[in-house]
Structure 1
């Protein structure tokens, strides 16, 4: 894998979230994967998929400002920032966030094992 391919994985992840393509998003997310939010909340894959399917969290728009990737053998770490527009339990939230995605190659596929969102100060 090259760095641009790792960045493409994260961009694809965001595309699936915006399109509410939960099945495609789920196939990218490792069974033991975790999602970390700026509030400190952590969700497992089943909890996250349930939240997305319920419509309690809807990703409306993501404008990435910059992204970089680092590769470590069978692991890729993607760092980025952007403006995220979400509907959280019926309330529109627009925030400038940093994110970190950790991808691991498992059985010839790249899986998202950890995704962190951090508020920019």
Structure 2
């Protein structure tokens, strides 16, 4: 596995989110996924997948404006900035975020294990 492979996995994850492709996301997401939203709300793998399945979370745009991948053995850490347009619980959101995403190598391949983001109020 190299950094380009992780970039490709990140692209597949974003495409799955945009398409609300629960099967593809289920394949990518680690069973113990922890998603910490920019609001501070925490969700498990099942909660994230249910939001996609039910349509309560709909992503309309996910544009990673920057990202850096670092490999640490069986762990890959992705840091970057992303612009997201989404509808969550019927409320339209436009987000400019700084994020950390973590992928881990498992016997079933690389799995997306963690996401944490924070709003960028001043892009400096």
Short-chain TM bin = over 0.9
Q: How many pairs align?
A: 121
> After superposition, where does 1:60-99 map in structure 2 within 5 Å?
60-99=60-99
User: Corresponding residue for 1:39?
Assistant: 39
Could you tell me how far apart the structure 1 residues matched to 2:5 and 2:42 are?
27
Deviations 1:19-75 (A, max 9, x none): 111110111101111111111111111111112211111011111211110001111
Partner of 1:7: helix, strand, or coil? helix
Give unmatched runs, 5+ long, in structure 1: none
Structure 1 residue 108 displacement after superposition: 4.9
Structure 1 residue 109 displacement after superposition: 0.1
Structure 1 residue 82 displacement after superposition: 1.8
User: Corresponding residue for 1:120?
Assistant: 120
Could you tell me how far apart the structure 2 residues matched to 1:108 and 1:91 are?
36
Kindly report structure 1 stretches of 4+ aligned residues shifted beyond 4 Å. Answer: none
Structure 1 residue 117 displacement after superposition: 2.0
User: TM-score, structure 2 length as denominator?
Assistant: 0.92
User: TM-score, structure 1 length as denominator?
Assistant: 0.94
Give unmatched runs, 5+ long, in structure 2: none
Q: Report the RMSD for the aligned CA atoms in angstroms.
A: 1.1
Could you tell me how far apart the structure 2 residues matched to 1:73 and 1:108 are?
16
Could you tell me how far apart the structure 2 residues matched to 1:55 and 1:73 are?
36
Is 1:6–1:77's contact at 8 Å kept on the other side of the alignment?
no
